[in-house]
Amino acid sequence: MVQLLSQYTFHIVIAAAIAAILYALYLVTQIVKQPRGTDAMIAIADAIHEGAVAYLRRQYSVVAGIAVVLFAIITWLLGMHVAAGFLVGAVTSAIAGIVGMYVSVNANVRVAESANKGLSAAFKLSFQGGAVTGLLVAGLALLATVTTFLVARQNLSLPQTLTTLIGLGFGGSLISVFARLGGGIFTKAADVGTDMVGKIEQGIPEDDPRNPGVIADQVGDNVGDCAGMAADLFETYIVTTVAAMLLGTLTGKGEVAFIFPLLLGAVALVATIIGTLFVKLPRSGSIMGALYRGLAATVVMSAVLLYPITQLYLGMSQFFAIVIGFGVALAMVGLTEFFTSKKFSSIKNLAIASQTGHATNIIAGLALSLRSTFPAILVIGVGILLAYQVGGLYAVAIAATAMLSLTGIVVAIDAFGPITDNAGGIAEMANLPEKTRKVTDALDAVGNTTKAVTKAYAIASAGLAALVLFASYTQELGESSPISFSLADPSVLVGLFIGGALPYLFASMALESVGRAAVTVANEIRRQFKEIKGIMKGTERPDYKRCVDLVTQAALKEMIVPALLPVLVPIIVAFTLGAQALGGLLIGTIVTGLFVALSMTTGGAAWDNAKKYIEEGHFGGKGSFAHQAAVTGDTVGDPYKDTAGPAINPMIKVANIVALLIAPLLA
């Protein structure tokens, strides 16, 4: 049985990946069949589409330049096969991002149109949009990994195959850190800059078509939340699978080391396809309930299918590791909901603090963001310990892989958020009736929570994936000579300090980038309001495209230095302070990275939802003093949750993969 299964494993994996991709493409045909609405809506959607494509084209041109340089360096230092892996990872990661953006810009206007027919139709369509991205991300990631592995295995030695896979992970992560950061800076700079002049100075509502920055703001949702998130989870998926393969090989699991993680991914992907079919609006109309049903169905089905397979290959203990991985994923979802959903006390207390002003709102939000890390870190810690107890270091890798195998459904749940956000913007700009806006608003509100939930999932996954990478680094170095990374060794300690400082520096740079880019776009919007006289009367069209161009330039300029930090600092530390210090650096980055990223994404979402809670009519509702304070909190939270926080995920992994790549040079 094992042999029979093993013989066809790779066929099964490839088939599952292709099935997911084909099903996603089928969904695309269903989506594009839907009507795009009035001419006004189509014109807006086209402008958004055009802006998003233009941004991504330029982003990837810049990144391609950097990738070419790295490709040459990798070829020279580590060999052609690693460089080839790097290239595949980089290209497929870029494809994942482009797909995320493409689906979103095509679905948004159709969701707006379908919202005329009511919540049920709009929800169905927007979730289909999300499902396309989710299935394509997971399917492509699995396909890229399995084909790279097969090609490498047939032509190269085992160690070379492993380094090719590490190259694959590096390519994916590097692109992802640029996508997350560039997209994150774009989306928040456009958002803040547009609101600053439109809402505050000119007193016109959000998404008002008279605002020259309004298209840039919508473009931002697509390139940040969609393309960025897709590239991020794409690379986490690949990196985790590769790390599990690597650790399995280094700890002597033989061929199973390659077979099992891929099979796990394939099974979960099939379960995900079925799981998406469970997402249907219940009679109660609970959107969140519908989404969680899909998640629950996927988890249960995956577990049932994986039970016999795991028994066959690895035994009962590693099945527990899978359950632990699923458990951590679900616990992260629950915890984030607790801290960011309007149903619970945290948000209410934040709203109460807004009554006494801007400063008390900020202090309460900061306290919430700091506190939210504690239970999350406990969950991750308990997960690691339990997994280790049941099956050693390898079980930690399996738990991480299991957690990541839910990528498809998680991205599906997440990606529907920005689609509905965009649909709402289009509805507003095209002056659709109040009833329609209510539908898109309801979807958008849920989208906010799912975005926060997914980010916490992504961070926890990134942390686990990075730990598995670190374990591989330890094993790799240990092959030639035993290595301890003792905390009593001052190099390790200093590495820990420097590594710990990286997320702080990175986050600081990201926050400042948003500030600078926002000022650039705000100045342009002010200029247009002043020079194009007919804008406010609605007789002249603002120059949307110029705003998009300016944010694009600013975001691309700002993303380069911070994105290169996790590549350069580990190399510098490795060759000045040595392999022990590098080990400390990796763990330092993981530890503070988890705290900074978790606190920022949770805090940001909490501020956002506290504002929404007040807007529902509590504590004076819209326009009240409490509301003004809550808007301040929301604005502070924006770059927290959408730029700095999420970009830390790929950053942590890039640092760890760079260490793995240079490990042979250090040993």
Residues 439-468 that bind its own copies (CB under 8 A): 467
Does 667 contact its own copies by CB under 8 A? Answer: no
Q: Which of 77, 505, 536, 667 binds its own copies (CB under 8 A)?
A: 505
Distance from C-alpha of 588 to C-alpha of 596, rounded to nearest angstrom: 12
Q: Which of 17, 45, 174, 353 binds its own copies (CB under 8 A)?
A: 353
Window of 31-39, 262-270, 351-359, 532-540 that interacts with its own copies by CB under 8 A: 351-359
Does 496 contact its own copies by CB under 8 A? Answer: yes
Quickly list H helices, 578-666: 579-615, 625-639, 645-666
**C-alpha separations of 447 from 369, 596, 630 in Å:** 20, 23, 19
Window of 203-211, 369-377, 399-407, 451-459 that interacts with its own copies by CB under 8 A: 369-377
Residues 13-72 touching its own copies, rule: CB under 8 A, are: none
Does 592 contact its own copies by CB under 8 A? Answer: yes
Q: Which of 230, 577, 606, 652 binds its own copies (CB under 8 A)?
A: 577
Burial profile 195-210: b = 16 or more Cβ within 10 angstroms, e = fewer:
bbbbeeeeebeebbbb
Q: Which of 486, 540, 623, 665 binds its own copies (CB under 8 A)?
A: 486
Distance from C-alpha of 125 to C-alpha of 114, rounded to nearest angstrom: 8
Quickly list H helices, 198-315: 214-220, 229-250, 256-277, 287-313
Q: Which of 636, 655, 658, 663 binds its own copies (CB under 8 A)?
A: 636
Q: Which of 491, 520, 528, 649 binds its own copies (CB under 8 A)?
A: 491
Nearer to its own copies, 522 or 663 (CB): 522
Residue 660 CA, chain-centre distance (Å), reads: 23
Nearest approach in angstroms of CB 364 to its own copies is: 6
**C-alpha separations of 43 from 125, 209, 394, 516 in Å:** 20, 12, 53, 30
Does 498 contact its own copies by CB under 8 A? Answer: yes
What is the CA angle 604-408-381, rounded to 5?
A: 60
Nearest approach in angstroms of CB 514 to its own copies is: 7
**C-alpha separations of 105 from 130, 234, 275 in Å:** 12, 19, 24
Q: Which of 500, 562, 566, 570 binds its own copies (CB under 8 A)?
A: 500
**C-alpha separations of 463 from 165, 378, 383 in Å:** 20, 13, 12
Does 666 contact its own copies by CB under 8 A? Answer: no
Q: Which of 470, 529, 613, 619 binds its own copies (CB under 8 A)?
A: 470
Residue from 112, 65, 60 nearest 223 by CA: 60
Distance from C-alpha of 375 to C-alpha of 543, rounded to nearest angstrom: 48
Does 508 contact its own copies by CB under 8 A? Answer: yes
Counting residues that bind its own copies (by CB under 8 A) gives 77
Nearest approach in angstroms of CB 365 to its own copies is: 10
Nearer to its own copies, 444 or 634 (CB): 634
Residues 385-404 touching its own copies, rule: CB under 8 A, are: 385, 388, 393, 396
Nearest approach in angstroms of CB 575 to its own copies is: 15
Distance from C-alpha of 172 to C-alpha of 240, rounded to nearest angstrom: 12
Does 128 contact its own copies by CB under 8 A? Answer: no
Q: Which of 15, 80, 200, 274 binds its own copies (CB under 8 A)?
A: 200
Nearest approach in angstroms of CB 287 to its own copies is: 29
Does 338 contact its own copies by CB under 8 A? Answer: no
Contact 311, 5 (CB under 8 A): no
Residue from 320, 600, 597 nearest 461 by CA: 597
Q: Which of 474, 528, 601, 609 binds its own copies (CB under 8 A)?
A: 474
Does 595 contact its own copies by CB under 8 A? Answer: yes
Nearer to its own copies, 289 or 490 (CB): 490
HSE of 388, CA atoms in CB hemisphere, 13 A: 11
